[in-house]
Amino acid sequence: MKAAVFREVNKPMTIEDIRIDKPGPSEVLIRTSAAGVCHSDLHFWNGTYPGAVPMVLGHESAGVVEAVGGDVHYVKPGDHVITCLSVFCGHCEYCLTGHMSLCQEPETRRSKEQPPRLSQNSAPLGQFANLGSYAEQLLVHAHAVVKIRPDMPMDRAALIGCGVMTGMGAVFHTAKVEPGATVAVIGCGGIGLSAINGAAIAGASRIIAVDMVPSKLELARKFGATDVVNAKEKDAVGEVKELTGGGVHYSFEAIGLKATAEQAFNMLRNGGTATVIGMIPPGQMVSIHGMEFLFEKKIQGSMMGSNRFRVDMPRFVDYYLQGRLHLDDMVSRRIKLEDINDAFAALGTGEVARSVIMFN
pLDDT for 46-71, tens place per residue?
A: 998 988 899 999 999 999 999 999 99
Question: Could you name the CATH architecture of 167-302?
Answer: 3-Layer(aba) Sandwich (3.40)
One-letter amino acid identity for 60? E
pLDDT of residue 347: 82
Quick: pLDDT tens for 311-357.
Answer: 999 999 999 999 999 999 999 899 999 999 999 998 877 767 789 99
89-118 pLDDT, tens digit per residue, is 999 999 999 999 999 999 999 998 999 999
Closest CA to 173 of 316, 47, 333: 316
Interval 241-282: pLDDT, tens:
999 999 999 999 999 999 999 999 999 999 999 999 999 999
H or E segment to which residue 237 belongs: helix 236-244
Decide: 180 and 291 in contact? Cβ < 8 Å.
no
pLDDT-derived band at 290, boundaries 50, 70, 90: confident
Asked if the model's pLDDT at residue 310 lies above 90, the reply is: yes
pLDDT recorded at residue 66: 98
What pLDDT, on the 0 to 100 scale, is given for residue 129?
94
SS3 label, residue 132: coil
Asked, colleague to colleague, whether 2-148+327-358 and 167-302 share their fold, the answer is: no
Confidence (pLDDT) at 327: 95
Q: Kindly report, residue by residue over 159-170, the tens digit of the pLDDT.
A: 999 999 999 999
| Alpha helices per DSSP H over 204-308 | 214-222, 236-244, 258-266
Q: For residues 307 and 161, is the Cβ–Cβ distance under 8 A? A: no
Hey, where are the domains in the chain? 2-148+327-358, 167-302
Would you state the pLDDT for residue 191?
94
Q: Is it true that domain 2-148+327-358 has CATH number 1.10.10.10?
A: no
Q: How far is CA 87 from CA 143, 211, 282, 359, 360, in A?
A: 5, 32, 23, 24, 26
Q: What is the DSSP letter of 135?
A: B
Report the DSSP beta bridge partners of residue 83: 145
Burial of 50 (0-12, 13-18, 19+ CB in 10 A): exposed
Mean pLDDT of 14-28: 97
**Coil, strand, or helix at residue 298?**
strand
* Cβ–Cβ under 8 Å, residues 35 and 161: no
Residue 241: φ, ψ to 5°:
-65, -40
d(CA 227, CA 345): 29
Tell me how crowded residue 15 is: count the other CB atoms within 10 A of its CB.
15
8 Å CB contact between 198 and 250 = no
Which residues make beta-bridge pairs with 331? 354
Look over the chain and give the mean of its residue pLDDT values, rounded to a whole number. Answer: 95
- 40 Cβ contact list (under 8 Å, min separation 6): 59, 129, 162, 279
Q: What are phi and psi of 286, to 5 degrees?
A: -95, 130
CA dist 348 → 5, 35, 37, 351 (Å): 19, 18, 11, 8
**pLDDT score for 266:** 98
> Which pLDDT value is given to residue 351?
67
Supply the pLDDT for residue 292: 87
Cα(120)–Cα(116) distance, integer angstroms: 10
pLDDT at 354: 84
Mean pLDDT to the nearest integer, 115-144? 96
Q: Which of 37-41, 193-197, 221-225 has the lowest mean pLDDT?
A: 37-41
